[in-house]
Amino acid sequence: MGCYVDLNMNEWELQHYLTKKWRKENLYYNGFEYHLVCWELMFPSWDINDKRAKWNEISIDFILYSIELSEFLCVELKNIIKGKKNLLSAYCQATQRTIHFIEQYDVKKLNRARNRCHTSSINERGGIDSTIDEIKFSKKPAIKRVLMAKSFQSNASGFIDSLNALNRSELQNEYSIYSTNKEFERFNAIKEEQFNLIEHNPLFLIQLD
């Protein structure tokens, strides 16, 4: 990916670093260019998570878009993910947020969110930019779910592949042996018809260089 990351960064610092980087130069993934659309997008309001204004809804860390592919990446960012429970929790989190993005997708709302990100950004995320290039988003885009981190455990890819093959109830069985957390509870609220939105949409891992 050509994205050097200081391993001493915490998750907030990593979010700020990547926001500034991708605002200056687009992400290249699998040979394709992705534009940073917005960050901390909340559902169901499609406002931006901002401690100065509104922060009381679930949010996804980054939304990126490939014009060439008409494809979104819904990216949930973590620092270091180790342990089966933590990987399961992050998988459920990225999946639940992506389902909401797919289910509620609307070009007008997305353009509003993008504009708010860039015109009210804090300095740590690159500051205010009042002039941003127009992007004509597809009305029927491909939408992929991505879990990104500085570091994953060595067998993470194989474990994610196994999770991608499970249906909703099988996934719930996977984490039922652990003490619950907010992400497991949120995933429990996902209905079968919602889960079907990502049935043929495997989650991808991206490890930062």
Give per-residue pLDDT as tens, 113-130: 998 888 876 666 656 666
Q: Give me the chain's average pLDDT, please.
A: 90
Tell me the pTM: 0.91
Task: Inform me whether the pLDDT recorded for 52 exceeds 70.
Answer: no
| Domain-embedded: residue 113 | yes
**Interacting residues of 190 by C-beta distance below 8 A, sequence separation 6+:** 95, 96, 99, 168
In terms of average pLDDT, the best of 4-13, 72-81, 112-121 is 72-81
Q: What is the pLDDT of residue 13?
A: 87
Task: Inform me whether the pLDDT recorded for 4 exceeds 60.
Answer: no
| Domain-embedded: residue 119 | yes
Task: Inform me whether the pLDDT recorded for 187 exceeds 80.
Answer: yes
Domain count, the chain: 1
The candidate with the shortest Cα–Cα distance to 94, out of 140, 49, 129, 146, is: 146
**Between 50 and 85, whose confidence is greater?**
85
The candidate with the shortest Cα–Cα distance to 44, out of 92, 121, 102, 114, is: 102
The CA-based angle 128-129-134, given to 5 degrees, is 145
- Burial degree of 69 (CB within 10 A; 0-12, 13-18, 19+): middle
The candidate with the shortest Cα–Cα distance to 58, out of 194, 198, 183, 190, is: 183
| Domain-embedded: residue 177 | yes
Instruction: Compute the average pLDDT of residues 90-100.
Output: 97
Domain that holds residue 151: 11-207
- Burial degree of 131 (CB within 10 A; 0-12, 13-18, 19+): exposed
**Token couple for 37:** 């659309």
| Domain-embedded: residue 3 | no
| Domain-embedded: residue 6 | no
Cis, peptide link before residue 202, omega less than 30° from 0:
no
- Distance in angstroms (rounded) separating the CA atoms of residues 19 and 77: 11
Q: What is the pLDDT of residue 3?
A: 52
Q: What is the pLDDT of residue 2?
A: 47
| Domain-embedded: residue 81 | yes
Instruction: Compute the average pLDDT of residues 134-147.
Output: 96
What are the beta bridge partners of residue 29? 32
